[in-house]
Amino acid sequence: MRKIAGKIFSTPAGVTRPTEEELAQAQRSFDEFEKKINAVAPEDRVKDVSPKVWDDISGTEFDPRRNVAEADHS
């Protein structure tokens, strides 16, 4: 068990490893998705994505930028 930013991560008991076939299917899905991303012209790609899309700690008490901002206002 490991605790990161207030969330507990553990390996669930009884979960079996994915089969080679399942892993291959997942890889094909990722490859198809990557082709779609690469088909977008560089000038049409999103340049600035909010960290809230991919970052679980952004805007929380664990956000290092928040602690810096709070220190500046002290």
**Model pTM above 0.75:** no
- Positive/negative CA dihedral, 48, 53, 59, 62: negative
Average pLDDT, integer, range 8-37 = 87
Type of residue at 30: F
pLDDT score of 40: 94
Q: Confirm if 57 and 63 have CB atoms less than 8 A apart.
A: yes
Residue 74 has pLDDT above 70, yes or no: no
For the stretch 41-68, pLDDT in tens is 999 988 887 766 677 887 788 888 776 6
53, two tokens: 């899309």
How far is residue 60's CA from residue 50's CA, in Å, rounded to a whole number?
14
Average pLDDT, integer, range 31-38 = 96
